[in-house]
Structure 1
């Protein structure tokens, strides 16, 4: 039977950070024993032997913190060594405080559990073997504490066992919960990266399809332009028919212009996007070009980018992104739409508002969810718009509009657009 997949391991840097936190807990616990046991239980502890153990653990943790500041790779063997230092410190502490008869001996178990959660199988088994060996040695080799009342000794031993069990359970839960949260966060980041890669692959496929379509559509568009031109010049046709033919001819000219620049627009770099323009002029130009393509849908623009407006060298794909957002709004609300733009918090914010039916139930896409939006019928334009915006460090968000409709908000950091 084939072995199942190995569970994901936390990153070594995060694991070392958690081990350092765990060692601080060990230092606090040892210090608490040294201070509280003689005072509460009237049991004399060999401070001259225990203080060097505590000091050594402090030095080890300080060096580990310095090690954490370096960006060099941390290997599993180093994490194993860190846990061995912890195990050695507790073994020495227990040796001078009764060995296996000390209820604190159970604190070796959380170290084994943490090693199993942090290390690979060989190191985890090695750590478990060392812990068992330490327990076995402390069984026969130790320095007993002087406790004159045997009945009181049994009572405090049972109380110590309870306390040790409670501390061990808390440490194990604390460590495993933190490690599980880190693994969930990493899995989510991997899932988002995988989704982004799949979306980019889809955009590349669409780009290839668009290039092929541009090549294939050139001939039929030319034929339609010739026929529309002949109809516009035919005096035998009515004035309304010739006006429609002229409008058709104008739209065909726009289509040919778009197809002619498709290859240039697809994948063009920001530096190739053209000269620097004021933000308000750039946005107004996008709105004017859209009006020429869809003259029957009223578009109201309110653009206030300050005086003077910041100059931008925008990726040409961003123009298509804003165009697609306006187009989606026009499809949902052909009776009229609005577009607002301004500068807020070092970012260009563009809002497209419509009075359409609103967002589908359960739909709340961001830039990373545009592929889902396309499947829900909002159009592949949203997928392309989100890809272009993400490349510039921006995002797209949707919200319901008071009174009905939808607000699409596109946010772009100015730092990625300025020359």
Structure 2
């Protein structure tokens, strides 16, 4: 259940407004467009039959018919639960502006009182899309508004006198001149409204988007923390349950070692088995003692170089047959840190994965400064597929036949808890490469 919630939170972040406009926004746009079509038909009916205004009905109804067919297409997409990219959502709103401009062209152009409807698509873009789309929509709406000032089908003689240079000094009547000033004033009013939307609405919408993004990230972090606590509890329980059988195995191996002293080869194998049992008991003891802690209880401190050498020494005990090329470089003397047992295990997990991918040899390169530690672990295996690169680091994802998908996930979460980051790529010369970037602020000895 927790894993599903983590996936949902990650999908919410990935589906942010920068990349994806959800089905909900498409539904709202469909309803908005339907209301606009109904309003346009009502306005035309009122103008023709109520106010006796002569309009080119054939052309205007043709525009509305094509507009309605487009809206029907959107409705069919909604039935399939389709989402639209930000680019598609923006283009749909541009089509809305184009349809409105076509209708206004046949109904007096910029002198039509409904010209203010150009602001609606701009407000929608400002509230739902990033800033670059808002600037684009502002240019589109302002451009159509300006074009309709000089190119339109006039409704009255005063409008006819205004067209084609009416406000440039060529009108012959005071009424036409006043009308031109009125239309020009409407244009400046529209320009002011566009400026206010760009400044205020865009800023508020951007702040809301950033808040939602932070809330989603906080939710995902909370779910990850819950998951880590659950895994820590399970690990501690498993350590307790496994203690008894391991103790029994330790006793039996000791007895077998004494019983078969006359067979050196068998005794050697029993000693290896006993050392592995002791190793398991040590690991389980560490889990029981320090599960969920950020720092080792002992407060043991050592410099970064010796810390890494000790970590590599522990790993070599587990993989004596794997050759590892090590490069440790940085300032001298190295910064002194408080040993974190969970970080030890995280590095060992990464090295284990590399050794399983290429058992013959692996590489570890570490570079440190006073403030940061960088570790790069490379294997010489087949590398990772693009699909695996996209999924690695998620809980229970594994490329191994008998893997559990937790080792790398836990290592990644330990590094993130300490303020660091983990990146996985394919090396240009073959194999996979894991890069760990770790700020030392939380680990520096005081």
TM-score for the superposition, normalised by structure 2: 0.56
Q: How does 1:296-311 map to 2 (within 5 A)?
A: 296-311=321-336
- Deviation track 1:96-135 (CA, whole Å, cap 9, x = no partner) reads xxxxxxx9xx8xx99xx79x97xxxxxxxxxxxxxxxxxx
Deviation of 1:331 (Å): 2.1
Q: Which residue of 1 aligns with 2:304?
A: 279
SS at match of 2:438: strand
> CA separation in 2, counterparts of 1:271 and 1:329?
26
> CA separation in 2, counterparts of 1:245 and 1:338?
32
Q: Which residue of 2 aligns with 1:351?
A: 376
SS at match of 2:331: coil
- Give structure 1 stretches of 5+ with no counterpart: 1-102, 118-147
SS at match of 1:212: helix
Match of 1:270 among 272, 295, 300: 295
Q: Which residue of 2 aligns with 1:392?
A: 418
SS at match of 1:415: coil
> CA separation in 2, counterparts of 1:228 and 1:299?
31
Q: Which residue of 2 aligns with 1:261?
A: 286
Deviation of 1:230 (Å): 3.6
Contact 1:207 1:266 in 2 (8 A): yes
Change (3 A) 1:308 1:258: same
Change (3 A) 1:408 1:273: farther
Deviation of 1:345 (Å): 7.5
- Deviation track 1:263-302 (CA, whole Å, cap 9, x = no partner) reads 2221234373532201110011011111112323333322
Deviation of 1:360 (Å): 3.4
Q: Which residue of 1 aligns with 2:429?
A: 403
Q: Which residue of 2 aligns with 1:319?
A: 344
Whether 1:153 aligns to 2:178 is: yes
Change (3 A) 1:346 1:269: closer
> CA separation in 2, counterparts of 1:188 and 1:357?
37
SS at match of 2:397: helix
> CA separation in 2, counterparts of 1:412 and 1:165?
53
> CA separation in 1, counterparts of 2:321 and 2:252?
23
SS at match of 2:386: coil
Whether 1:372 aligns to 2:398 is: no
Match of 2:318 among 293, 304, 310: 293
Whether 1:329 aligns to 2:360 is: no
Contact 2:294 2:342 in 1 (8 A): no
Whether 1:211 aligns to 2:236 is: yes
> CA separation in 1, counterparts of 2:355 and 2:432?
11
Q: How does 1:239-254 map to 2 (within 5 A)?
A: 239-254=264-279
Contact 1:234 1:242 in 2 (8 A): no
Change (3 A) 1:279 1:231: same
> CA separation in 2, counterparts of 1:215 and 1:270?
21
TM-score for the superposition, normalised by structure 1: 0.59
> CA separation in 1, counterparts of 2:298 and 2:213?
34
User: How many residues are aligned here?
Assistant: 283
Q: Which residue of 1 aligns with 2:213?
A: 188
Q: Which residue of 2 aligns with 1:338?
A: 363
Deviation of 1:383 (Å): 2.1
Contact 1:353 1:408 in 2 (8 A): yes
Q: Which residue of 1 aligns with 2:197?
A: 172
Q: Which residue of 2 aligns with 1:413?
A: 439
Q: How does 1:36-185 map to 2 (within 5 A)?
A: 149-169=174-194, 171-172=196-197, 175-185=200-210
Deviation of 1:252 (Å): 0.9
